[in-house]
Chain A
Amino acid sequence: MKRLRKRKARALLSEFSSTLGSEILKVRIYRDREAFVCERELVERDGTSFTMVLPLRGTEAARTLLTSDPYYSRMRGEVWRALGQLDKALREHDGKPVS
């Protein structure tokens, strides 16, 4: 029997989505233990999905990634909000040990 549920090591920092015609684009940035990961999921109308998983080394890498997305112009506001949250999380991570 499982003991108490394991403490979740993965924390969602930000998430946003955009409907692009018949597709939905979802972007999630996680803090996974001591690392940060960006997931970019494109879901087709028939439910088929493509998820890119890219570990992030810093805000700059995230900025390069998200602004080079072909759909960046449709999600500009959300992208910059997400980058702000990531920047804050990175500074907190660098400032004190991960609990």
Chain B
Amino acid sequence: MAGSSTLKLAGHALCLGMPLLAPLGVWLDIPWLSPLLVFGLFPILALLLGEDHSLPIAGLRRSPMLVAYLDFLPRIYAVVWMATLTWAAGYASRMNLSGTGLAGLTVSVGIGSALAICTAHELMHRRSQFDVLLARLMAGLCLYGHMVVEHFHHHATVGDVAAGATAPRGMSIYHFAPTDFQHGLRNAWTVESARLRRRGAGWWHNRVLQDYALALGLVIAFFVNFGSTGLILFIGQAVFAVFCFEVITYVHHYGLVRGEGEEAGPQHAWAHHCWLTNCLTFNNTFQSDHHLRPGTPYYELHAMYGAPRLPASYFTMFCVALVPPLWRSLMHVRLDALTQARTNASRELPDWLRAEQCR
């Protein structure tokens, strides 16, 4: 199953169910349904479904219908998510939720928002102005106004600890997340200011400012429409989503620092080609290929030779990262093995450390 490319393409549609877990949880009176599934069931499912051995379908582009489906899927996700977010704020406000009920709904929506950031990541790399603007709107809804500008900066500086996004060995997620957020904001501001200065353009063209202004507008809109309860949910889901994004960034690049003069390559991103994760995140685990070919659509990405392997799926490693001693015990063994491999003449990774290439 995990080798079937057709099944994989169909599997991408599973992501549309993720934002809907929040209203489903409300309907079933299980407000924590979404986190229970994602962090409880999905790691087991991921193990059972196995790794993603699918390859991009050759000649895919000869089928306009299929390409349209794949291209539209992220946009449909955006619509479904935005509708769910709006519904959740309205529901929380109407029912005057508080305490664990509000927290459960917020986290459930936040999981959909975390995947929305993933979706925005796919959209922002497209040439279509509409898709880029949609990505910026989604980032604004997650109160992550510098995301788009900073992400391009990240591509240029992957593996550079000073640029952020790559946590040096030993840094915990709790130190990394706020540090990386600040780094990102500073980088985005610097890049954007330089760009506008060169063009002689006014400050109002600053996309970081624009996107944060949009975020502020959305905060006000949610407050006006859904009161303080709705606002708490809106801000809460954004904080949760951004934190998830930081955790995944941490997991992607932990300890994989580029040496002096070293070219960015597959060895600068951890990989675990989990079928389920790939379906839900638009092939986000194919990080190495994405870094080498940032403009390639998600359905044409594949596993890269030379990418070091994570011990488990993103769902599991997310939880592990939240427990720094456990994280270090799992990852430092791998980092040591990588360092050892680099000193070998062949520079080959040992089998257990090699992310499996698609067959």
Contacts and interface: CB of A to CB of B under 8 A. Distances in A.
A1 B61 contact: no
A4 interface: yes
12 contacts: A1-B127, A1-B295, A2-B295, A3-B126, A3-B127, A3-B295, A3-B296, A4-B296, A4-B297, A4-B300, A7-B61, A99-B62
B3 interface: no
A7 B64 CA distance: 12
Nearest to B62: A99
A99 B59 CA distance: 13
B125 interface: yes
Interface of B, helix, strand, loop or mixed by DSSP:
loop
A4 to B, nearest CB: 7
B101 interface: no
Interface of A, helix, strand, loop or mixed by DSSP:
loop
Contacts of B295: 1-3
Nearest to A1: B295
Contacts of B61: 4, 7
Interface string A1-38: 11110010000000000000000000000000000000
Interface residues of B, number: 10
Interface of B: 61-62, 125-127, 294-297, 300
Interface string A46-75: 000000000000000000000000000000
Assign chain A's interface to a size class.
under 10
A99 B64 CA distance: 11
Contact of A1 (B62, B294, B300): B294
Contacts of A1: 125, 127, 294-295
Given A4-B61, A4-B296, A4-B300, 5 more contacts: A1-B294, A2-B127, A3-B127, A4-B297, A7-B61
Contacts of B127: 1-3
What 7 A-B pairs come out closest when comparing CB atoms?
A1-B295, A1-B294, A2-B295, A3-B295, A3-B297, A1-B125, A2-B127
A1 B123 CA distance: 11
Nearest to A99: B62
Contacts of A2: 127, 295
Nearest to B128: A3
A3 B294 CA distance: 9
Contacts of B294: 1
Contacts of A3: 126-127, 295-297
Nearest to B300: A4
A47 B88 CA distance: 68
Contacts of A99: 62
A4 B296 CA distance: 7
Nearest to B152: A1
A3 B67 CA distance: 13
Contacts of B62: 99
Contacts of B126: 3
